[in-house]
Amino acid sequence: MKPIVRFAPSPTGKLHVGNVRTALINWLFVRAFDGGKIILRIDDTDTERSTQAYEDGIKEDLTWLGLTWDSTFNQSKRFDIYDEAADKLRDMGLLYACYETSEELDRQRKLLRVQGKPPVYNRAALDLSDDDKQKLEDEGRKPHWRFKLSGEVVTWIDLVRGEQRIDTSSLSDPVLIRADGSYLYTLPSVVDDIDAEITHVVRGEDHVTNSGAQIEIFRALSDHLPSFGHTPLLVGKDGKSLSKRLGSLSMDQLRDQGLEPMAVTSLLGKIGTSDPVEARQSLKQLIEEFGFSKIGRAPARFDEDELALVNARLLHDTPYADVKDRLDAWGVGGGEDFWTLIRANIEKLNDTASWSTAIFAPMVGQIEDEDADFCKSAADQLPDDISDETWSNWTSALKAETGRKGKSLFMPLRRALTGRNRGPEMGAILKLLGSERARKRLRGEAG
Residues 145 and 177: beta-carbon distance below 8 Å = yes
Question: Does residue 159 sit within a domain?
Answer: yes
User: At residue 420, what is the residue type?
Assistant: R
Nearest to 230 by CA among 160, 154, 296: 160
Question: Does residue 411 sit within a domain?
Answer: yes
Instruction: Output the domain CATH number for residue 202.
Output: 3.40.50.620
Number of domains in the chain: 5
Domain carrying residue 324: 320-360
Question: Does residue 154 sit within a domain?
Answer: yes
Pair (170, 201) in one structural domain: no
Find how far residue 435's CA is from the centre of its chain.
47
Pair (202, 286) in one structural domain: no
Pair (58, 98) in one structural domain: no
Pair (199, 61) in one structural domain: yes
Question: Does residue 182 sit within a domain?
Answer: no
Pair (267, 209) in one structural domain: no
Question: Does residue 68 sit within a domain?
Answer: yes
Beta pairing partners, 273: 295
Instruction: Output the domain CATH number for residue 304.
Output: 1.10.1160.10
Question: Does residue 447 sit within a domain?
Answer: no
Pair (130, 111) in one structural domain: yes
CA-to-CA separations, 383 to 362, 379, 403, in angstroms, rounded = 20, 9, 20
Pair (69, 113) in one structural domain: no
What does residue 216 show for φ and ψ, rounded to 5 degrees? -70, -35
Pair (129, 215) in one structural domain: no
Pair (168, 195) in one structural domain: no
Question: Does residue 158 sit within a domain?
Answer: yes
Of the CA atoms within 13 Å of residue 211, those in its CB half-sphere come to: 24
Residues 8 and 43: beta-carbon distance below 8 Å = yes
Pair (297, 331) in one structural domain: no
Pair (60, 206) in one structural domain: yes
Entry pTM: 0.91
Pair (192, 65) in one structural domain: yes
pLDDT in tens, the chain (447 residues): 799 999 999 999 999 999 999 999 999 999 999 999 999 999 999 999 999 999 999 999 999 999 999 999 999 999 999 999 999 999 999 999 999 999 999 999 999 899 988 899 999 999 999 999 999 999 999 999 999 999 999 999 999 999 999 999 999 999 999 999 999 999 999 999 999 999 999 999 999 999 999 999 999 999 999 999 999 999 988 888 776 566 668 999 999 999 999 999 999 999 999 999 999 999 999 999 999 999 999 999 999 999 999 999 999 999 999 999 999 999 888 899 999 999 999 999 999 999 999 999 998 989 999 999 999 999 999 999 999 999 999 999 999 999 999 999 999 999 999 999 999 999 999 999 999 999 999 999 998
Instruction: Output the domain CATH number for residue 142.
Output: 3.90.800.10
